[in-house]
Chains A and B, each alone.
Chain A
């Protein structure tokens, strides 16, 4: 039997230059909407991609299992599942296992096999590390050591759905209209430097972090080697992967604020640091020096989702587009205004954020406002 591998991991060093499209929105009042909304928005930006990658992240979709980690795992074939499941059973308490239901669409003639596991780390584990650290180790183990499988997402009450195809087709394929979420992000991929393969589609996710990105992380090699020192292994061969792990390292483990993490990713220029008051100058000088290997070089506009919010960030000279809009209890961020208007024709406010300044939209707060700059 001819075996087609979806879990392809190109051996060469790869990076990704792209003209992708991103969209994300957060309902600050935790109102949940189904995936047909973001599908409609992504369809408006159809031409930003070329059919070689589409994907979505959704938060709030598993309320009945909200306290369990939801592992979305992609397998080459159904037969590849037992090896991973044996490993999962040895490492985790498993509460529920089910296939991720799909709907065959003509545009996606062949596809891998998807399964979903609701799990928790066992209580009597050793060493006694945190649940999140334990889960990161499990994800890394599967992605590094098991050839025909990888973990698509691993957060609580969230999930990532992605693959090779236009985002509209991917949304239909995963039946996203059957999921209700309060934060959604979407991505339309236009890969140029690495193959369009199922694992290389966006979003990239770890724990409840998920990122969709338009641009290129030219510092991928530096960032990747830096992350390896902290136990993160990059296996998906697309530059964006490093940002998901860097966010986990900086914000969850090193407890930096989002503002400071943004200043690590898009550091202020030295000439601007020279103009700052002494205390600020001292702080940003140290931040740049300590985290020089975590700075992201190259053009980017990315949206980072997590269970309590949505963050948008541009590179420090704004080489990729990003617009923000608010309406009622919702904040939208997208590559193009039209993608927002497609699902929210009348907005309260709309503006383009400044380069290198994060837009931080948090749950249970008011929609973001245009900050005084």
Chain B
């Protein structure tokens, strides 16, 4: 049995309090309907097996600092999805705005369509805590800027109208983690700290379960396991500014 909250006209603070109260009472399956721009849904919630299903456009910082729950949005999401999130899953069945996964430390974010600017910036990873962010569409500028860890995947499935699946300054300042980009992109858009490479067996082994899950989640029929269309982007120096003040 799931519980449903009608968010129409409800201020974000009250809405989030209702969600937390249900979780405190042990509710595992929560539907929120008529959301329109309420901020911080699922923000800071620590719970391992809670599922929150949302109808409507979510506001800023969906799932910020979240640790554990699964959030599924049936529509678009605004800016700051998964800001500094620690663990859990966010699924967006539409597009998302700027700074998705900003400073993300763990967990998984799947976005079906396009994303805005600065997606995956400052994403980090430590030992087995490696965040995964997959974007089905195209991304704006500063994708993976200052990436320090984790895995960023861009599929470019909406590319028909764009020359490059990713925007300018991609991976600028990147010094850790890995990025996989599928489809054509302008090489001049890559930051000078990174380079792009063909995938190895190790890469495809890592990608396959993630891509299978992504395709299954959104019912994607196009073959996205066409690894010859992917490029791996990794930093070519771990200390790009190591000599900046040395001479």
Contacts and interface: CB of A to CB of B under 8 A. Distances in A.
Interface string A357-373: 00000000000001011
Interface string A300-331: 00000000000000000110010100000000
B117 A341 contact: no
Interface in A44-60: 44-45, 47
Interface string B47-90: 00000000011011000000000000000101100000000000
A96 B116 CA distance: 49
Interface string B77-106: 011000000000000000101100000000
B37 A336 contact: yes
Contacts of B37: 44-45, 336-339, 341-342
A350 interface: yes
B141 interface: yes
A318 B117 contact: yes
A373 B161 contact: yes
Of listed B12, B60, B163, residue having the most chain A CB within 10 A: B60
Contacts of A323: 97
A372 B161 contact: yes
A44 B114 contact: no
Contact of B114 (A47, A318, A337, A351): A351
Contacts of B39: 47
A337 B116 contact: no
Interface in A61-114: none
Given A321-B97, A321-B98, A352 B188 contact: no
B36 A352 contact: no
A338 B59 contact: yes
A93 to B, nearest CB: 47
B162 interface: yes
Contacts of A250: none
A355 B98 CA distance: 12
Contact of B79 (A321, A351, A373): A321
B140 interface: yes
A270 B29 CA distance: 53
Contacts of B142: 317
Contact of B78 (A275, A338, A372): A338
B76 A318 contact: no
A336 B97 CA distance: 9
Contacts of B95: 350-352
Contacts of B162: 373
Interface residues of A, number: 22
A351 B114 CA distance: 9
Given A342-B37, A354-B140, A336 B78 contact: yes
A341 B140 contact: no
Per DSSP, are chain B's interface residues mostly helix, strand or loop, or mixed?
loop
Contact of B161 (A317, A352, A370): A370
Interface string B130-141: 000000000011
B141 A317 contact: yes
A221 B119 CA distance: 33
Contact of B97 (A47, A352, A354): A352
B36 A318 contact: no
Contacts of B97: 321, 323, 337, 352
A354 B117 CA distance: 9
B114 to A, nearest CB: 7
A312 to B, nearest CB: 15
A342 to B, nearest CB: 6
Contacts of A339: 37
Contacts of B188: 275
A47 B11 CA distance: 10
A306 to B, nearest CB: 27
A352 B57 contact: no
B163 A373 contact: yes
A338 B161 contact: no
Contacts of B140: 318, 352, 354-355
A337 B78 contact: yes
A37 B188 CA distance: 45
B9 to A, nearest CB: 10
Contact of B141 (A321, A336, A342, A355): A355
A352 B59 contact: no
A188 to B, nearest CB: 13
A350 B76 CA distance: 10
Interface string A332-345: 00001111011000
A333 B142 CA distance: 23
Interface in A27-51: 44-45, 47
Interface of A: 44-45, 47, 275, 317-318, 321, 323, 336-339, 341-342, 350-352, 354-355, 370, 372-373
10 closest cross-chain pairs (CB), A and B: A338-B37, A318-B117, A338-B36, A352-B116, A338-B57, A337-B57, A44-B37, A341-B36, A321-B79, A341-B57
Given A318-B98, A337-B76, A372-B161, 16 more contacts: A44-B36, A47-B12, A321-B78, A321-B98, A323-B97, A336-B60, A341-B57, A351-B95, A352-B98, A352-B140, A354-B140, A354-B167, A355-B117, A355-B140, A355-B141, A373-B163
